Amino acid sequence: MNTWEYAESIESSSIVSIEKKYGIFFDGQFQSPNSKKYLKTISPSTEEVLSSVALGNQSDIDSAVESAKSGLKVWSKLSGTQRAKYLFKLARLIQERSREFAVLESLDGGKPIKESRDFDLPQVAANFFYFAGWADKLDISWNTKGLKPYGIVGQIIPWNFPLLMLSWKVAPALATGNVVILKPAESTPLTALLFAELCQEVGLPPGVFNLVTGDGTTGAALVQHPDVSKIAFTGSTAVGKYIQNETADRDIGLTLELGGKAANIVFNDAAIDQAVEGVVNGIFFNQGHVCCAGSRLVLQEDIHDEFVSKLEKRMQSLRVGNPLDKNTDIGAINSKEQLDKISSLVNEGIAEGGSIFQTDCDLPTDGYWFRPTLFTNAQPSYKISREEIFGPVLTTLTFRTPEEAIEISNNTEYGLSAGIWTEKGSKILWAADRLQAGVIWANTFNKFDPSSPFGGYKESGFGREGGRHGLLSYLKVQS
Amino acid sequence: MSLTKETKNTLSWSDTVELIDNLRVDEVGLKERVASLATRSIKKDSKLQALNYIVTMCDLTTLEGEDTEGKIGQMTAKAIRPDPSNIEVPSVAAVCVYPALVSKAKEMTKNSNVKVASVSSYFPSGQAPLESKILDTQFAIDQGADEIDIVINRKAFFEGDYRKMYDEIVALKEVCSSVHLKTILEVGELRTYENIKKASLISLAAGSDFIKTSTGKISDGSSREACYLMAKSVWDYKEVTGFKAGIKVAGGIRDSKDAIRYLVIVNEELGSDWLNPDYFRFGASSLVDDVLKQIKKLKTNAYQSGYYFPRG
């Protein structure tokens, strides 16, 4: 029997030029960190060291805050139209250099190039365009003139969608008249550093965008700085709780976008083949490193066997490997630490009694990899049904009636997103009304638009990003 | 379904009803999946392999009122040796002609492995009584056709008389017991994705060896979405009966790039078992010309003009 193997089709990385060492970015310039310390950033698909970036400390945050203060003096005098001009310029430049950004994102973070190219970058540009459009229309956004920017905003973003999360944070903050100190994730700083270069290129006034790379201690220093008037954080619920505690007795704005354990509910009257696709997309998109991933398949019991059989067959066709190969569906796990966490939760799932299915694909020898994984025979009490795994691991739970589907879906401390699969429109509305989640998709999953507010219920956080509501995360309302 | 899993290429009407009951297709999700498969990047060796597959899977076709024995002579010669300048290029799978020209095609292909396919059952409309369709089919078989492409009864389908559509295929399959039966759905007339899937499953349950997209006689011929749904139907049918049916895509597939996208659908939805002419075919007249040019380009880096390749 013959087989048809797809030859490697590698996106060339020659388009990116990575410096050996990066400083922190303030006063519109890259400068050596006061800490004199650096962190290595590696490519998780090869473990090759890509660069060294500054490990910012308290004193570096102080420098960034001073820079932000002078930036704010300039920025707050500009009209909305003038602010928009810079944001539109950034949006256009991001589009022009999107291939470069996409390659860099895949190199540094391990995500497949088809996703960074076709999802992340178009979304990043769209966010800048969208919020650029709001900058001179804030008066009509909520029909009040009483909207005031916070001033200096500290933003801490995660490693799963590094540049996209930057755009979700930076674009609305600048559009509303704030200035920014951004702390990118420890393992994925490179696209943010390239973005800083773009800020220079468009002539953004110095101090309006400031970037301090580093680790958790850098983030903590940013959170603790008394002159920061707003913190926006996307990341784990544990760190979110720390930040909320830390800022509890301060006059400070806070939005948190945290973990999730989303239910993807498949009713027996769904279009099954498309539901299988949606479930696959829901959990295996970006290696499952997605806070709103559909990590619990909540499946009607009478279609369990047929659905699981189709799902397993579909999973076998997922291509795991080199993130820069245009045919790769699933790239590398972002870090050794994350790989260990996924492996340990999966082992606990097996120990608790779940039946595991993993695809047969070959994995590269270097780098961090995890096979697409499906658990059946899992119970709602199992850890794999309750904890956010943040990897390519799907847990199946079954239900008998629509009411039971809702109960199971809401039986979690999280509430970021949910999916509903049925061809019956009234059932979609009925279920959406009862699901405790900030984003609900029907007969689709992982769809994003800059105009749609995104955020969580319960321990998935508070505040909204995107859309008209997203403006309120960066504005104080006075009436 | 409660059927035993054994190889079985027909299903009773009641089992067929169960198969098509409550069938649902979501258009948005379907299109998204097909679009995503179209982004596969097929280069170098895998492209050459695909191009060779396509040649071996082609049914070189002429179905015109103006067809003559002379025209069939030209086409069959090309079918046997598509590129005389490169002996590595294999023969195509079959030639496809009207019943009146089958004997000429048979005579021309007798020393080759190229099969002769013919269309019948009052192709392309199917608007004739079953007795006439049977005669039409029997004639083509008597003339020596190895494969028969019939059309489904769209009149019955749209009138909701699925049983009649099914019964006709069963009757024609009886006539075709010794030859390969391909059933044309004419997806451009069926229009909706549910219709395409329903017609696919009924055709398979009635005993078709292949299901085929289009007659090539209407402007909306094949589509990758239709091919995807037919692949899903073939898979579902295999899950129920164990029988592996084939797919023929025809109608408007003119270049290699498009054809490779069809191959990707089959490869990823059905698997490499289906990547041979027993299970997948292209019905086309001009596709082969582009494939030959692409093969030559991969070998020599030169994109040659059409006149370097023989007329079919």
- Cα of A5 to nearest chain B Cα, Å: 6
Name the amino acid, one letter, at A295. Answer: S
Greatest extent of chain A over all pairs of C-alpha atoms, in Å = 74
Range A126-133 average pLDDT: 98
CA distance A130 to A135: 9
pLDDT digits (tens, 9 = 90+) for B278-304: 999 999 889 999 999 999 999 999 999
Backbone φ, ψ for residue B144 (5° rounding): 115, 10
SS3 (DSSP) at A396: strand
Domains by residue range for chain A, with CATH: 13-258+458-477 (3.40.605.10), 263-442 (3.40.309.10)
CA distance A284 to A115: 12
Q: Are B185 and B233 in contact (CB under 8 A)?
A: no
pTM as predicted: 0.96
Peptide bond just before A402 cis, omega within 30 deg: no
Q: What share of chain A in percent tops pLDDT 70?
A: 100
Range A190-214 average pLDDT: 98
B106 counts as catalytic: no
Range A361-390 average pLDDT: 97
Instruction: Retrieve residue A380's tokens.
Output: 């709602």
Domain boundaries, chain B: 13-299
CA distance A287 to A45: 12
pLDDT digits (tens, 9 = 90+) for A250-275: 999 999 999 999 999 999 999 999 99
Q: Which CATH architecture has domain B13-299?
A: Alpha-Beta Barrel (3.20)
| The predicted structure's pLDDT at residue A2 | 72
CA distance A458 to A436: 8
| The predicted structure's pLDDT at residue A479 | 85
**Which residue shows structure tokens 């007798």?**
B110
- Flag whether pLDDT at B137 surpasses 90: yes
The number of residues making up chain A comes to 479
Measured CA distances, A342 to A239, A315, A367, A460 (Å): 18, 18, 15, 20
pLDDT digits (tens, 9 = 90+) for A406-453: 999 999 999 999 999 999 999 999 999 999 999 999 999 999 999 999
Q: Which of B26, B269, B275 sits opposite A274 (nearest CB)?
A: B26
Range B206-214 average pLDDT: 98
Q: Where are the beta strands (DSSP E) in A55-208?
A: 147-149, 152-156, 179-183
Half-sphere exposure of B135 (CA within 13 A, CB side): 5
| Cα-only R_g, chain B | 19
- Cα of A426 to nearest chain B Cα, Å: 16
Q: Do B41 and A327 touch (CB under 8 A)?
A: yes
Backbone φ, ψ for residue A299 (5° rounding): -115, 135
Backbone φ, ψ for residue A179 (5° rounding): -115, 160
A115 counts as catalytic: no
- Flag whether pLDDT at A1 surpasses 80: no
| The predicted structure's pLDDT at residue B7 | 61
Q: Do B275 and A4 touch (CB under 8 A)?
A: yes
Instruction: Retrieve residue A355's tokens.
Output: 């039946």
Range B39-50 average pLDDT: 96
- Flag whether pLDDT at B4 surpasses 70: no
- SS3 string, A410-471, reads HCCCCCCEEEEECCCHHHHHHHHHHCCCCEEEECCCCCCCCCCCECCCHHHEECCECHHHHH
**Which residue shows structure tokens 């702390």?**
A183
- Chains A, B: CB contacts within 8 A come to 72
pLDDT digits (tens, 9 = 90+) for A68-83: 999 999 999 999 999 9
pLDDT digits (tens, 9 = 90+) for A300-334: 999 999 999 999 999 999 999 999 999 999 999 99
Q: Which residues of B touch A317 (CB under 8 A)?
A: 268-269
Tell me the CA end-to-end span of chain A in Å, nearest whole number. 74
- Flag whether pLDDT at B235 surpasses 70: yes
ipTM: 0.95
Q: Do A278 and B267 touch (CB under 8 A)?
A: no
Q: Which residues of B touch A8 (CB under 8 A)?
A: 43
pLDDT band at A104 (very low <50, low <70, confident <90, very high): very high
CA-nearest residue to B35 within chain A is A118
Q: Do B42 and A443 touch (CB under 8 A)?
A: no
Q: Which residues of B touch A275 (CB under 8 A)?
A: 26, 29
pLDDT band at B5 (very low <50, low <70, confident <90, very high): very low
Is B288 exposed, middle or buried (CB count within 10 Å of its CB: 0-12, 13-18, 19+)? buried
Instruction: Retrieve residue B116's tokens.
Output: 């002769």
Q: Which of residues 30-59 of B touch A (CB under 8 A)?
A: 30, 32-33, 39-47, 49-50, 53
CA-nearest residue to B33 within chain A is A277
Q: Do B44 and A327 touch (CB under 8 A)?
A: no
Q: If you average pLDDT over every residue of chain A, what do you get?
A: 97
**Which residue shows structure tokens 């009635």?**
B206
- What's the helix, strand, coil split of chain A in %, to 5? 45, 20, 40
Range A161-188 average pLDDT: 98
Contact residues for A242 (Cβ-Cβ < 8 A; gap 6+): none
Q: Do A1 and B47 touch (CB under 8 A)?
A: no
Q: What share of chain B in percent tops pLDDT 90?
A: 94
- Flag whether pLDDT at B1 surpasses 70: no
CA distance A29 to A47: 30
Q: Which residues of B touch A442 (CB under 8 A)?
A: none
Instruction: Retrieve residue B274's tokens.
Output: 């289906």
Range B190-194 average pLDDT: 97
pLDDT band at B153 (very low <50, low <70, confident <90, very high): very high
- Flag whether pLDDT at A132 surpasses 90: yes
Among the listed residues A257, A388, A459, A465, the single catalytic one is: A257
Nearest Cα to Cα of residue A414 among A219, A261, A246, A193:
A261
**Beta bridge pairs of residue B58:** B282
Query: Which conformational region is residue B288 in: left (phi greater than 0), alpha (psi within -120 to 50 degrees), or beta?
Result: alpha
| The predicted structure's pLDDT at residue B2 | 45
Most A CBs within 10 Å: which of B30, B41, B270, B279, as the mutation test of the A interface? B41
Q: Which of A7, A272, A444 sits opposite B46 (nearest CB)?
A: A7
Give the torsion through C-alpha atoms of A109, A115, A117, A123, to 10 deg.
-100
- CA angle A208–A32–A53, rounded 5-degree value: 90
CA distance A383 to A349: 7
Q: At what angle do helices B162-175 and B130-142 cross, to 10 degrees?
A: 30
Q: 10 Å Cβ neighbour count for B52?
A: 15
CA distance A330 to A290: 13
Q: If you average pLDDT over every residue of chain B, what do you get?
A: 95
- Flag whether pLDDT at B6 surpasses 80: no
